[in-house]
Amino acid sequence: MAMINDKLKKEILEFRKKRDWEKFHKPKDLAISIVLEASELLENFQWKTDTEVAEMLKGKSKTAIEEEIADIAIYLTYLSHDLGINIEDIIANKLEKNKKKYPADKVRGSAKKYDEY
Amino acid sequence: MAMINDKLKKEILEFRKKRDWEKFHKPKDLAISIVLEASELLENFQWKTDTEVAEMLKGKSKTAIEEEIADIAIYLTYLSHDLGINIEDIIANKLEKNKKKYPADKVRGSAKKYDEY
Amino acid sequence: MAMINDKLKKEILEFRKKRDWEKFHKPKDLAISIVLEASELLENFQWKTDTEVAEMLKGKSKTAIEEEIADIAIYLTYLSHDLGINIEDIIANKLEKNKKKYPADKVRGSAKKYDEY
Amino acid sequence: MAMINDKLKKEILEFRKKRDWEKFHKPKDLAISIVLEASELLENFQWKTDTEVAEMLKGKSKTAIEEEIADIAIYLTYLSHDLGINIEDIIANKLEKNKKKYPADKVRGSAKKYDEY
């Protein structure tokens, strides 16, 4: 139940290779693509109150959200692969950094602290 | 070497729980956060030519990029968890959909097709 | 009281010229910059409820918001100038288009319609 | 030839009023909308080299770009109006600030300086 297992990662990379699309995937354009997909994800929440979001998530719109999340994860996989970045390692590093920056006993439940996160 | 294994996913969720930050993580704000982190990732590439990007990636700036990628992946993990979405499943679904939409033998290496991707 | 009068527009363009920065302002990078500044604007609202936004707008944070809006408007001015686009003309065109697409007597006050806007 | 003259600004505000859409325009959602429109603008440049951008700008795609720029300017007008912000004033302020931060004789033509802009 990992986020992306090795078999899936391999399939993501093979999808691109079979289409000879590596040549389009310059890092800057992959970073642009992640922003664009993230915006498409956010678009599903535009103008909605918390109640309307809750309603939406019960309905068919969840599929649209799932597809945008999948797109972001796919582009993240390409960019990380191309830059030689191991996502698990950098997440673990970032968590360690955040643990020091936001000691649990100091920031617990504090909106003020959280806002400065 | 998966993107995010179960142990790491658990740590990401525990980091939030220990700080009692779940209450701030409304889906709409998580979607906003993914856009903001994606923009911070893109900022590293702003104004740069391909050559300048290549140079940057050799230097210390790679750490900044790694941290932004980690932040995006962490927020994706929170949003997917909160919405009951299994990222691996939706990526597999999206890949199947893309395979039908972009048959390898038709779109191979074509910028024209790719641009419509 | 126009958005940007001719004198101000001239100053914006001269600021860039005096620094010999036109050469960095490729349209794609200007479009990236508009997204980045828009994200910095949005960052001021991250995690905030409507009530918290109202409070923030009373305080000193309004200056931060003003600066981000100014940055977006400045980059829009550069991009429009470089592409030979008259912003007033295209806004007028877009308004006409929107008037036909959203007839006032049909869509008035409707969230449903608005959401499809 | 100002960016947005008073008559046009009035039309933009009336368009919204006639549709009773002010109630949807919470500042946070307007900020989200500016990001989304900025991303749609950027999408026109996705995957394109400088040469391909130049080609695109000769063709019919310029209309798409114009519409996105118009959308950003329209939302900026709404947000500024609602927050009681005079865009011309804040642009003038920002220019003054930038002039001090980036003295022309020090930063002229320098990519290094510009990158830190």
Q: How many residues are listed for chain C in this entry?
A: 117
pLDDT tier at C85, thresholds 50, 70, 90:
very high
Tell me the pLDDT tens digit for each residue of A52-102. Answer: 999 999 876 789 999 999 999 999 999 999 999 999 999 999 999 999 999
Which residues of D are less than 8 Å from B52 in CB distance? 111
pLDDT tier at B112, thresholds 50, 70, 90:
low
Rounded Cα distance between A107 and D114, Å, is 37
- Name the A residues in 5-34 with CB < 8 Å from any B CB: 5-6, 8-9, 11-12, 15, 18-21, 23-24, 26-28, 31-32, 34
CA atoms within 13 A of residue D73's CA, in its CB half-sphere: 33
Which residues of B are less than 8 Å from C35 in CB distance? 39, 42
Q: CA B101 → CA A79, B62, B114, C39, D60, distances in Å? A: 22, 34, 11, 32, 25
Give the pLDDT confidence score for residue B17 in this predicted structure. Answer: 96
Q: Name which of A2, A45, A108 is nearest B4 (Cβ-Cβ).
A: A2
* Percentage, residues of chain A above pLDDT 70: 91
- Please, which chains are in contact with B (at least 3 CB pairs closer than 8 A)? A, C, D
Q: Name which of B31, B90, B109 is nearest A70 (Cβ-Cβ).
A: B90
Q: Mean pLDDT over residues C71-87, rounded?
A: 96
Indicate yes or no: CB of D53 within 8 angstroms of CB of C27: yes
pLDDT, chain C, mean: 91
Rounded Cα distance between D37 and D66, Å, is 11
Tell me which amino acid residue C9 is. K
Three-state DSSP string of chain D:
CCCCCHHHHHHHHHHHHHCCCHHHCCHHHHHHHHHHHHHHHHHCCCCCCHHHHHHHHHCCHHHHHHHHHHHHHHHHHHHHHHHCCCHHHHHHHHHHHHHHHCCHHHHCCCHHHHHCC
Given a cut of 90, is residue B111 above it in pLDDT? no
Tell me the pLDDT tens digit for each residue of C57-69. Answer: 987 678 999 999 9
Rounded Cα distance between B49 and C104, Å, is 47
Tell me the pLDDT tens digit for each residue of B26-67. Answer: 999 999 999 999 999 999 999 999 999 999 998 767 899 999
Indicate yes or no: CB of C31 within 8 angstroms of CB of D23: no
Indicate yes or no: CB of D29 within 8 angstroms of CB of A47: yes
Give the pLDDT confidence score for residue D4 in this predicted structure. Answer: 79
Q: Which residues of chain D have pLDDT under 50?
A: 1
Indicate yes or no: CB of B32 within 8 angstroms of CB of C46: yes
C-alpha distance from B60 to closest chain D C-alpha (Å): 15
- Provide CB contacts within 8 A for D37, sequence distance 6+: D68, D71, D72, D75
Q: Name which of B32, B52, B115 is nearest D32 (Cβ-Cβ).
A: B32
Q: Name which of A32, A47, A111 is nearest C115 (Cβ-Cβ).
A: A47
Q: Mean pLDDT over residues C105-115, rounded?
A: 74
Given a cut of 50, is residue C1 above it in pLDDT? no
Residue C35's closest chain A neighbor by CA? Answer: A35
Say yes or no: A89 contacts chain C, CB-CB below 8 A.
no
Which stretch of C21-25, C59-63, C97-101 has the lowest confidence by average pLDDT?
Answer: C59-63
Give the pLDDT confidence score for residue D115 in this predicted structure. Answer: 57
Indicate yes or no: CB of C92 within 8 angstroms of CB of D4: no
- Please, which chains are in contact with C (at least 3 CB pairs closer than 8 A)? A, B, D
Both structure tokens of D27? 């500042």
Say yes or no: A43 contacts chain D, CB-CB below 8 A.
yes
C-alpha distance from D19 to closest chain A C-alpha (Å): 15
pLDDT tier at A109, thresholds 50, 70, 90:
confident
Indicate yes or no: CB of B111 within 8 angstroms of CB of D32: no
pLDDT, chain B, mean: 91
pLDDT tier at C4, thresholds 50, 70, 90:
confident
Three-class DSSP category at C2: coil
Angle, CA C47 vertex, CA C42 and CA C49 arms, to 5°: 100
- Please, which chains are in contact with A (at least 3 CB pairs closer than 8 A)? B, C, D
Say yes or no: C67 contacts chain D, CB-CB below 8 A.
yes
